[in-house]
Amino acid sequence: MRIGILGAGRIAKVHARSIAAHPGASVAMIADPCEDAARELAEAHGARHTADPAEVISDPEVDAIIICSPTPLHAEQILAAAKVGKPVLCEKPIAMDTETIDKLFADLEGLDPQVMLGFNRRFDPSFAKVRRLVDGGVIGKVEQVTIISRDPAAPPREYLASSGGIFKDMTIHEFDMARFFLGDIATVFAVGQNLDPELADSGDFDGAIITLTNADGVAATITNSRHCSAGYDQRLEVFGDKATVNADNIRETTVQVSTGEATDAKDPYLDFFLERYDAAYRLELAEFIDAVENKRTPSPSLKDGAAALAIAEAAEKSARTGTPVTL
């Protein structure tokens, strides 16, 4: 499969590397308005490049598209690809607001698009195993899900300004993970925190506690922070009536040091998301390629992306008003 990539930034590089490592795929063409970036990444992979994403989408030697461009461009690029019948793997989030998504769904009507959303964490080997344990009945009826997600350090203030806020930018992954185990979410209650003095006037939260429930009363708790001294803290626990299952952080080695001060001290957490979710990105790509080749609907879908964004908007509203929001 010859794949075109829209964007040549950090996440585009990850996907290009995953494609190179996949036995059945190659990087065909890369588009980025910053043509130097496009050229550099293209050359590293023996691919062509352009400044214009439309060229990639229409190129006859490009079989599928991965969208790694800025969020405001996602919807139009999904639509353009759908119009020429090309499968798309689109980075999250689909858009910055649900209006844009509603319009996209309307525009896509009748096009039968094959679009996969880049919620890579569903493919993390540990989280995926937790899900298999649920599917296999090991956990029993899921009752409570506890998700902890903390970044190692806050991004630059300028990034925050255009990020869409913590819920759309960071928690969106946890909202999808909650949906992975709870299905559709019925209520959202979010507490936003502003504890980092450096971000005091950023207008965004730097920490958050969110409680989600589904129609059956199953609850998920998400704890977020924009900083964590111990590293990139990514944990999940699913509690059911038969078992409790958790996925711990990943370390670079299994070394443990014991001295008179502390024993069994382990490495810091694997840091940052490109390393922590390295396997997840590769497995996500494999699922995309497999779905395209077998003409299956890939999962997570565009609807999953829309649902996560709706929760993010509800969380923002809840945190701002101090009241729960019903979806």
Contacting positions for a copy of itself (CB under 8 A): 21, 125-126, 129-130, 133, 138, 140-141, 143-144, 146, 148, 150, 187, 189, 191, 193-196, 207, 209, 211, 213, 217-219, 221, 223, 225, 227-231, 233, 239, 241-269, 322-324
Q: Tell me, rounded to whole angstroms, the distance of Cα 185 from its chain centroid.
A: 18
Cα–Cα dist 216/104, whole Å: 30
From the CB of 260, what's the least distance to a copy of itself, in Å? 5
Of 12, 17, 18, 10, give the one whose Cα is nearest residue 30: 12
Judged by CB, which is closer to a copy of itself: 111, or 133? 133
Could you say which DSSP state residue 294 is in? T
Task: Kindly tell me which of 167 and 239 has the beta carbon lying closer to a copy of itself.
Answer: 239
Give 84 or 257: the residue with its C-beta nearer to a copy of itself. 257
Round to whole Å and give the CA distance between 300 and 93.
Answer: 12
| Residue 20 C-beta: closest distance to a copy of itself, Å | 9
The DSSP output letter for 156 is P
Query: What span, in angstroms and rounded, lies between the C-alpha atoms of 137 and 240?
Result: 10
Name the residue with tokens 């649900």.
98
Kindly state the smallest distance separating residue 285's Cβ from a copy of itself, in Å: 16
Q: How far apart are CA 88 and CA 66, in angstroms?
A: 6
Nearer CB in complex with a copy of itself: 30/208? 208
Distance CA 86, CA 67 (A): 12
CB of 252 to a copy of itself, least distance (A): 6
Token pair recorded at residue 27: 């990087």
Distances (CA, A) of 318 to 86, 101, 188, 209: 38, 21, 7, 11
> Taking the complex as a whole, how short is the minimal distance between the CB of residue 250 and a copy of itself, in angstroms?
6
Whichever of 77 and 213 has its CB closer to a copy of itself, that residue is: 213
Closest to a copy of itself by CB, 194 or 299: 194
Is the Cβ of residue 76 or residue 267 nearer to a copy of itself in the bound state?
A: 267
Smallest separation (angstroms) from a copy of itself to the CB of 175: 16
Give min distance, CB of 61 to a copy of itself, in A: 20
**Cα separation, 244 vs 242, whole angstroms:** 7
DSSP letter, residue 89? E
Alpha helices in 45-171 (DSSP H): 53-58, 71-83, 98-108, 125-135, 157-161, 166
Q: How far is the CB of 113 from a copy of itself (least distance, A)?
A: 33
- In the complex with a copy of itself, the residue whose CB is nearer, 100 or 249, is 249
